[in-house]
């Protein structure tokens, strides 16, 4: 365990009490969704975080996205190399008001839990980060600490995609604070969400020659997709996952308008959960290869499109420094999970990356989302130890550097 540096109370930086920060973040709606009915901006959350971090001495950059009202936040403290990124998303999923026992946007403290939309997934993480790091800021930072909040993780991941084009100077390590019960996660599956639209020709059902059935073509398309699923599951296998092969789910289908009309259009939405080692672009090419012969044979238009930009599978080597430090600090072995996060985008920036944060994924996307009281102090302590290890202590790792050998 890495010991924290002593710090007198008089040196502790000021910020709102933890519960107040939780309450204010939960009260700011920041729903992200593929449906226009639900989708909204996260600007208010980003501005609130900036208002808390600037007085603590952080250099804050707000990165507007192409969609109005949406932005990322990059807050840096200290300089040098080998620093730590504490990252998360500032948006939440939609909610079912009828199934909540309390107002999703009003923090409720009951049963030794804090309830509210985003407590675990994952606006609560930012309040805990500020609570944890504020007592360390008067120390000499030998490497930068970067707090990063993104937009649209719950839909397009456009916030994380925009970060790949940015410069996170001095960082070498990243912890994505998704709810894992403070267990380090070093690998997860990727995701593709695709849509297939078949445009045929409608006509009177009494004479099939008058039309070209999109629904019958879709029946054949589904057969080919299931064949592809079998091919992918035969080729790719990762024993670390509870479901060790890629999966394909045919999620929803819409087509036709009346029993006595030949179906003129049919649409199918499906997802594929990829395991490490799979290339999402290659998977899309294989889908197209299965669809093209059907279109040619039936003389029908079959269109394939991505519903969201794909998220690559993620894997951080088990022997990397960050994984080993996280295992040491938590006393838990790093694990793998099936859900997807923004971790692959931080790897694209060249950072050692893990996923680790308070709360349970079982509470994410559920009514009465909460973070338990007994997760609060362990999270604060863990964050402080990570910052102490990677930002306050002298850099010890030479991983990734080429050093001349003695000959």
Return the pLDDT at 5.
41
Q: Which of 91, 131, 178, 342 is catalytic?
A: 91
Q: Dump pLDDT digits (tens) for 235-260.
A: 999 999 999 999 999 999 999 999 99
Return the pLDDT at 1.
42
Res. 269 pLDDT band, cuts 50 70 90:
very high
Average pLDDT, integer, range 373-398:
87
Can you tell me the distance from the alpha carbon of 182 to that of 10, in angstroms, rounded to the nearest whole number? Answer: 30
| Residue linked to tokens 């990243």 | 174
CATH 3.40.630.10 fits 9-188+313-392, yes or no: yes
Assess whether pLDDT exceeds 70 at residue 151.
yes
DSSP letter for each residue of 215-278:
HHHHHHHHHHHHHHHHHHHHH---TTSSS-S-EEEEEEEEE-S-TTEE--EEEEEEEEEEPTT-
Assess whether pLDDT exceeds 90 at residue 153.
yes
The tokens for 136 are 């360390």
Q: Dump pLDDT digits (tens) for 211-231.
A: 999 999 999 999 999 999 999
Assess whether pLDDT exceeds 90 at residue 166.
no
CATH 3.30.70.360 fits 190-311, yes or no: yes
Alpha helix positions (H), 11-164? 18-26, 43-53, 123-133, 158-163
CB count within 10 Å of CB 254 equals: 10
Distance, C-alpha 68 to centroid of its chain = 21
Can you tell me the distance from the alpha carbon of 400 to that of 320, in angstroms, rounded to the nearest whole number? Answer: 10
Res. 363 pLDDT band, cuts 50 70 90:
confident
Give the chain's mean pLDDT.
Answer: 92
End-to-end CA distance of the chain: 37
Please list, in sequence order, all residues whose beta carbon lies within 8 angstroms of the beta carbon of residue 167, skipping any fewer than 6 positions away. none
Can you tell me the distance from the alpha carbon of 279 to that of 283, in angstroms, rounded to the nearest whole number? Answer: 6
DSSP letter for each residue of 14-53:
P---HHHHHHHHHTS--B--SSTTT----HHHHHHHHHHH
* Most confident range, picked from 28-37, 104-113, 301-310: 104-113
Can you tell me the distance from the alpha carbon of 255 to that of 241, in angstroms, rounded to the nearest whole number? Answer: 36
Q: Which part of the chain has CATH 3.30.70.360?
A: 190-311
Q: Are strands 370-372 and 203-204 parallel, antiparallel or unpaired?
A: unpaired
Q: Which part of the chain has CATH 3.40.630.10?
A: 9-188+313-392
Assess whether pLDDT exceeds 90 at residue 395.
no
Return the pLDDT at 170.
84
Assess whether pLDDT exceeds 60 at residue 12.
no
Return the pLDDT at 8.
34
Assess whether pLDDT exceeds 50 at residue 406.
no
DSSP bridge partners of 302: 198
Nearest C-alpha neighbor of 150 from the set 222, 84, 86, 81? 86
Average pLDDT, integer, range 316-328:
98
As a whole-number percent, the residues of the chain with pLDDT over 90 amount to: 86
Assess whether pLDDT exceeds 60 at residue 140.
yes
Annotated catalytic, 91?
yes
Q: Which of 121, 131, 153, 158 is catalytic?
A: 153
Can you tell me the distance from the alpha carbon of 277 to that of 237, in angstroms, rounded to the nearest whole number? Answer: 9
Assess whether pLDDT exceeds 60 at residue 282.
yes
Annotated catalytic, 153?
yes
Can you tell me the distance from the alpha carbon of 365 to that of 248, in angstroms, rounded to the nearest whole number? Answer: 21
The tokens for 276 are 């490490």
Backbone angles phi, psi at 210, to 5 degrees: -80, -15
């Amino acid at each position: 365990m890495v010991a924290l540096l002593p710090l007198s109370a008089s040196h502790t930086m000021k910020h709102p009490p933890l519960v107040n920060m939780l309450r204010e973040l939960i009260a700011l709606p920041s729903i992200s969704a593929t449906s226009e009915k639900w989708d909204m901006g996260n600007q208010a959350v980003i501005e609130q975080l900036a208002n808390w971090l600037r007085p603590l001495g952080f250099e804050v950059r707000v990165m507007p996205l192409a969609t109005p009202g949406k932005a990322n936040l990059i807050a840096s403290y200290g300089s040098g190399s080998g620093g730590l990124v504490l990252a998360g998303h500032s948006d939440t999923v939609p909610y079912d008001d009828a199934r909540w026992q309390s107002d999703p946007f009003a923090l409720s403290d009951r049963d030794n839990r804090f309830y509210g939309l985003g407590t675990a997934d994952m606006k609560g993480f930012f309040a805990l980060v500020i609570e944890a790091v504020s007592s360390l800021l008067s120390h000499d930072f030998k490497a930068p600490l970067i707090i990063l909040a993104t937009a649209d993780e719950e839909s397009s991941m456009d916030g994380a995609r925009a970060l790949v084009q940015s410069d996170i100077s001095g960082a070498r390590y990243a912890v994505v604070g998704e709810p894992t019960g403070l267990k380090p996660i070093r690998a997860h599956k990727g995701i593709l969400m695709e849509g297939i639209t078949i445009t045929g020709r409608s006509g009177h059902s009494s004479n099939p020659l008058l039309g070209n059935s999109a629904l019958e073509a879709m029946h054949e398309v589904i057969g080919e997709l299931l064949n592809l699923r079998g091919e992918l599951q035969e080729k790719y296998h990762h024993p670390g996952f509870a479901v060790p092969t890629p999966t394909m789910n045919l999620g929803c289908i819409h087509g036709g308008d009346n029993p006595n009309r030949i179906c003129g259009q049919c649409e199918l939405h499906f997802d594929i959960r990829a395991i490490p080692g799979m290339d999402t672009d290659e998977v899309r090419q294989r889908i197209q290869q299965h669809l093209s012969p059907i279109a040619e044979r039936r003389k029908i238009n079959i269109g394939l499109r991505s519903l969201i930009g794909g998220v690559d599978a993620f894997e951080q080597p088990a022997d990397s420094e960050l994984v080993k430090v996280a295992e040491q600090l938590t006393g838990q072995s790093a694990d793998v999970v099936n859900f997807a996060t923004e971790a692959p985008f931080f790897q694209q920036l060249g950072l050692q990356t893990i996923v680790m944060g308070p709360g349970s994924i079982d509470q994410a996307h559920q009514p009465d989302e909460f973070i338990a009281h007994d997760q609060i102090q362990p999270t604060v302590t863990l964050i402080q130890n990570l910052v102490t290890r990677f930002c306050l202590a002298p850099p010890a790792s030479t991983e990734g550097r080429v050093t001349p050998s003695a000959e």
